[in-house]
Structure 1
Amino acid sequence: MDPPPPTTKSWSIHTRTEITSKYKIHSLIGSGTFSDIYKATRISDNLPVALKEVHHSQSAFREIEALQALHHSPNVVVLHEFFSSDDEDVVLVLEYLVTDLEKVIKVVGREGGMGGWSVGEVKRWIVQILLAVDACHRSSVIHRDLKPSNFLIGEDGVLKLADFGQARIRIAPGFDSFHHNTQLQSQESSVFQHQNTLTEPENTSQENRSNPMEVPLGTIEESGPSDEFKSNDPFDETDRETNFPDADTSCLATCTTSDVEEDFLKSNYSYENNDGGTESGPLTSCAGTRWFRAPELLFGSTNYGAEVDLWSLGCVIAELFTLQPLFPGTSDIDQISRIYEVLGNLNEEVWPGCAQLPDYQIINFEKVENPSGLASCLPNRSQDEISLVKKLLCYDPAGRATAMELLHDKYLNEEPLPVPVSELRVPLSNHGTDYFSSGSEEWGDRRELGSDSDFDEFDVTTGSGGDFSIQFS
């Protein structure tokens, strides 16, 4: 692979005075297929931020739109502002968080690091994860790439969902927009014509945001009846272009509940196009990272809904329990095979209608006579913990429990109760700096899952003052 030329857009952020006049850029902390992440400081008040330079405008537009729709949630990263111009990449200014769930799991799993998790700690992580996903689904946002590395964690133990570059927003019939026909009415052209600042009211600051994490679970307001949701989204080629995981672009950085009260999982919604109307059509099946990809996606479905997030959620929770990935497939075929070994073959008996999936007749496996079952993958876990995962990891999307339903699950509401967020242990170094630096030893475990990053073949070494060097393999 030839070295990228000095003018490659990956480095253009350093030459943009509208950004460097407001932010001091320290170092590159992550790179992926469609974005680079920099740690920076806001000059006016020394606030640490993450600058996400997105090289694909459609992906940037989707992320901005999703974060605007979710800007009230305490469990979704904050988008402070963004910069755009006709001839430059879009740069998002995001809340900076010191680590992510994948890295915390590594530490806990490394010879019992941190002394292992207590049951109360595990439950609090799960509660925060569920609140983040529920906020998305209440706002008709499908994330489509849920995995541990996309759940970022601050020093205070607050967990926040990030990396919405693959997200899709669904609008219910009868609703013109999410925020009284204002924020989401913006057209892509107007979004990228000038610099945009998202003014955050004082009452939505971190200190003053409502924080349902500290509210007894039984008092969390429930959404409406949970019905099957099948989305109808116009397919466009940008889906194919942006469906690869962004590798480490989310690892250290990267807004929630809308006024729509009705649970959107079990109604028919459509995607609002840029003309304010709605269109029908398929989605791409290549969304998400393979280890967390729902069976319907593996079999080529282009008519799916938020249930794909629920499958991914089950894989994430299982990894919290075992500290190991549940289905670490090396290819899509191997991924299906690993699922079959545990759950048995996919057929009309377990999911009526599955034979209509585009690739169902193409991909054939021998019958698994004695599937091991999920309990075998969760050794030394309680029946309630196993039951929680089973409610998410079922073939029929209509049978998967919603995030809100799980927040009221017996497991999370019985002793020992989830510990307060303030009691969660977040591993940090003894020197007050990030425990998880962007050193190469912490990178790359999941790059084989589909990343086409230009950085896969060389190492990035960061230095002080924002300097960095490239070493090619």
Structure 2
Amino acid sequence: MMSYTVEICNDGSSSINPLIARGAFGHVDIALIVGWQCPSPDADAKKEKAAIHSVKLAAIKTIPNATNKSSGALTREAFAELNALRLLNGHANVTPLLGYYGARDKFGSGWDWGGNELGNLSSLCLVFPYHPIDLAEALHYRRLQCFADGSPHQHSHLPHDVVKSVCCDILSALEHLHSHHILHRDVKPGNLYITKDGRVELGDFGLAKVIPIDNVDQIESETGLCTLQYRPPELLLGGNGIVDKVEASRGAMDIWSAGCIFAELVTLSGPLFPGQSVLDQLARIFHVLGTPTEEDWQGVSQLPDWNKVTFEHQSGKELQEITGKCLWSDGVVELTNTMLILDPLKRPSAQQCRQSFNLNDDVVRMHGYESVVKALIPSSLLTEDPIYVGTHSTEHDRLAYAKLCASRVACARRNFPKSLNKTAKQDDSAKWRCKSKPRHITSALYS
């Protein structure tokens, strides 16, 4: 009989540092999922003890202050993330939730959430499989690798099978979300994780929203949704990202974000619209795609912030002018063009986008995954998983060795190259002016 436990790599009594990443959401630590071979029921308990059968790497995302102090229940944000993960679990392109529990301290030493009073538990700990890299880090690595000597190499672009494989996985994840009437609302390279097998999984559902199809008017406008460089124009102009019942199930705001990522995969030169503020972001979008009018985007003038700023009229340009001349196209650039239409009602659904790719052949998909591993995962971040611990005599020594291996993996992630932080210059042709005094413009326009 098998049983499994989650083992944290540092309980405060050792010098091991399990930290992988830290951000506004909390922090992510490396951990172990240990499979134990338990004695059979009729065995002599004194002679036969549980033995380690397997040790796999895991990642624990700890969300602090995840409960209300008065009731002890999960906060709305923490519940929304947990609920989305549970609803979407089981899809190949959504990071699986292996478990969750409440914790009283930063080390989260393993109380089962369902069996304890919530009043004293302040943190929510989510357990996921460990992934060697996310897409943001991977693209950053490619730029470091290709431009290390200051000039582009001839192979600076990603192979077409890598781009198609990544794009198809992203669309597969979004199709699954939108079929469950869930919007991710923060699709970006940093929330796309690459498995050691080359598959891409969508994660981080902290901003996810289940859409009440019967009453989309319940969705209020919220500031700060979606990372700025991947935020659609309807959100930048103060909307809630939901136009009507049809659009709600199509997930147009997520489609826009995915289109920005597709362009980034093709160019390998950073975000397509690298704005530094909401106004700057809008100016960059309109400079490339043209300034919208009611004729080509019905309802744009009704968005809350449309009348607060006016932009110089520009006709826009073809996306091919931005992405440059590729040796291959294979429909990716053309598809990206349709995903980056200003009017959200004219953007295709994830299902329609996925039909553009002919990747149903399992052999083709496996070849694509192998190419993703070679092109996007540095060899220094590929590690043995499961961890082999058979050379150690006692279970205690085996577990200690596994924790040491895990800490080395975490150290490699923390020491990952982080140079090459070049900020794109503002294009002089992207101009805007306020229609009223700055104090009348919502704070969201300056965020």
- Asked if these proteins are the same fold (TM beyond 0.5), I'd say yes
The question of 1:142 aligning with 2:88 is answered no
Residue 359 of structure 1 aligns to which amino acid in structure 2?
Answer: D
Could you say if the C-alpha distance between residues 94 and 410 of structure 1 is closer, same or farther in structure 2, counting changes exceeding 3 Å? Answer: closer
Whether contact under 8 Å (1:286, 1:297) holds in the other structure is no
How do 1:18-417 residues align onto structure 2 when only pairs under 5 Å count?
22-25=7-10, 26-44=17-35, 45-57=54-66, 58-84=76-102, 85-87=118-120, 88-112=122-146, 116-172=157-213, 231-232=216-217, 280-302=218-240, 304=242, 305=248, 306-324=251-269, 325-368=271-314, 370-381=315-326, 382=329, 384-409=331-356
Deviation at 1:445, TM superposition (A): 5.7
1:348 and 1:120 mapped to 2: Cα distance? 39
Higher helix proportion (structure 1 or 2) = 2
SS in 2 for 1:442: coil
Residue 227 of structure 2 aligns to which amino acid in structure 1?
Answer: T
Structure 2 gap segments, 5+ residues each: 11-16, 36-53, 67-75, 103-117, 148-152, 243-247, 384-408, 425-447
1:298 and 1:446 mapped to 2: Cα distance? 24
Deviation at 1:282, TM superposition (A): 1.5
The higher relative CO (CA closer than 8 Å, separation ≥ 6) is in: 1
SS in 1 for 2:57: strand
Whether contact under 8 Å (2:252, 2:344) holds in the other structure is yes
SS in 2 for 1:46: strand
Could you say if the C-alpha distance between residues 318 and 375 of structure 1 is closer, same or farther in structure 2, counting changes exceeding 3 Å? Answer: same
- Which of the pair has more CA radius of gyration? 2
Whether contact under 8 Å (2:273, 2:284) holds in the other structure is yes
1:55 and 1:335 mapped to 2: Cα distance? 31
- TM-score, normalised via structure 2 length: 0.66
Whether contact under 8 Å (1:292, 1:315) holds in the other structure is yes
1:358 and 1:309 mapped to 2: Cα distance? 21
2:19 and 2:413 mapped to 1: Cα distance? 11
Deviation at 1:407, TM superposition (A): 1.1
Whether contact under 8 Å (2:256, 2:339) holds in the other structure is yes
2:119 and 2:304 mapped to 1: Cα distance? 39
2:97 and 2:168 mapped to 1: Cα distance? 23
Whether contact under 8 Å (1:384, 1:411) holds in the other structure is no
Whether contact under 8 Å (1:35, 1:55) holds in the other structure is yes
Aligned length: 325
SS in 2 for 1:110: helix
Whether contact under 8 Å (2:235, 2:241) holds in the other structure is no
1:409 and 1:52 mapped to 2: Cα distance? 35
SS in 1 for 2:85: helix
The question of 1:421 aligning with 2:406 is answered no
Superposed CA deviations along residues 79-102 of structure 1, whole A, max 9, x for unmatched, are 111112433211111121110111
Residue 365 of structure 1 aligns to which amino acid in structure 2?
Answer: F
Whether contact under 8 Å (1:75, 1:131) holds in the other structure is yes
2:141 and 2:379 mapped to 1: Cα distance? 12
Whether contact under 8 Å (1:98, 1:436) holds in the other structure is no
1:155 and 1:108 mapped to 2: Cα distance? 17
Could you say if the C-alpha distance between residues 70 and 445 of structure 1 is closer, same or farther in structure 2, counting changes exceeding 3 Å? Answer: farther
Percent of pairs identical after alignment? 29
Residue 20 of structure 2 aligns to which amino acid in structure 1?
Answer: I
1:391 and 1:21 mapped to 2: Cα distance? 44
1:357 and 1:444 mapped to 2: Cα distance? 37
Worse-matched range after superposition: 297-306 or 102-111: 102-111
Whether contact under 8 Å (2:132, 2:377) holds in the other structure is no
Residue 32 of structure 1 aligns to which amino acid in structure 2?
Answer: G
Superposed CA deviations along residues 253-277 of structure 1, whole A, max 9, x for unmatched, are xxxxxxxxxxxxxxxxxxxxxxxxx
- TM-score, normalised via structure 1 length: 0.63
Residue 133 of structure 1 aligns to which amino acid in structure 2?
Answer: L
Residue 370 of structure 2 aligns to which amino acid in structure 1?
Answer: S
Could you say if the C-alpha distance between residues 117 and 436 of structure 1 is closer, same or farther in structure 2, counting changes exceeding 3 Å? Answer: farther
SS in 2 for 1:152: strand
Residue 144 of structure 2 aligns to which amino acid in structure 1?
Answer: R
SS in 2 for 1:391: helix
Structure 1 gap segments, 5+ residues each: 1-19, 174-229, 233-279, 449-473
Could you say if the C-alpha distance between residues 347 and 55 of structure 1 is closer, same or farther in structure 2, counting changes exceeding 3 Å? Answer: farther
1:327 and 1:59 mapped to 2: Cα distance? 28
